[in-house]
Amino acid sequence: MVRGARCVVLAVAIVCAVLLGGSAPSAAPIRIVSIVPAVTEMLFAIGAGPQVVGVSSFDHFPAEVETRTRVGGLIDPDVERILTLSPDLVIVYGARSDLAARMARAKIPTFTYETGDLANVTATIRRLGARVGRAKAADTEAARIERELDAIRKRVAGQPRYRTLLIFGREPGSLRGVYASGGVGFLHDLLEIAGGDD
């Protein structure tokens, strides 16, 4: 009899642990603030645009972001404005641990974005989708990107490769303050896939 009671208690404890355990994913956020333009684009691409209530001063794509509240940029986020939006998730850049710490003090969860290689882009889309309740759409979008990149690889296979300098920024009207791809990262990877030698 005692053994049977122990089994029942153990079974109830296991069921409660499974149903109420801390490892269960948190609810999908309904009010997202993103200060990382790349991640903002990802959110809209996976169908989470309606959840986005605030964006950085540098977000301009897709066009829908123009209707969202601006909350500053990576270097100068307007924390007070972020807090007034009552977000339940804030997208932060990995190098901005101070903003993540301020959000933690306000008990607001964060999603940290780190730049990296091209594989990191599709991995981030999938991780983001899981976090915001859009896992299936995120996997579909990431798989689409991977298929398109594979098609480009196949198209340029066996073609001559060209030494290429990829410049993605400079001071207007001059050749000062030039920003170029330096042999690592997603821009380098894109150039290599397209048939260039960075």
Domain spans in the chain, listed from the N-terminal domain onward = 32-152, 158-197
Q: How far is CA 48 from the centre of its chain?
A: 12
CA distances from 23 to 5, 11, 17, 18 (A): 27, 19, 9, 9
**Angle of helix 135-156 versus helix 186-193 axis, rounded to 10:** 50
Is CATH 3.40.50.1980 the right assignment for the domain spanning 32-152? yes
| pTM listed for this prediction | 0.80
For residue 149, what are the contacts with CB-CB under 8 A and spacing of at least 6?
118, 193
Q: What is the pLDDT along the chain (198 residues), one digit of tens a residue?
A: 444 444 433 333 333 333 333 333 467 889 999 999 999 999 999 999 999 999 999 999 999 999 999 999 988 999 999 999 999 999 999 877 889 999 999 999 999 998 888 899 999 999 999 999 999 999 999 999 999 999 999 999 999 998 988 888 888 888 888 888 887 888 889 889 999 887
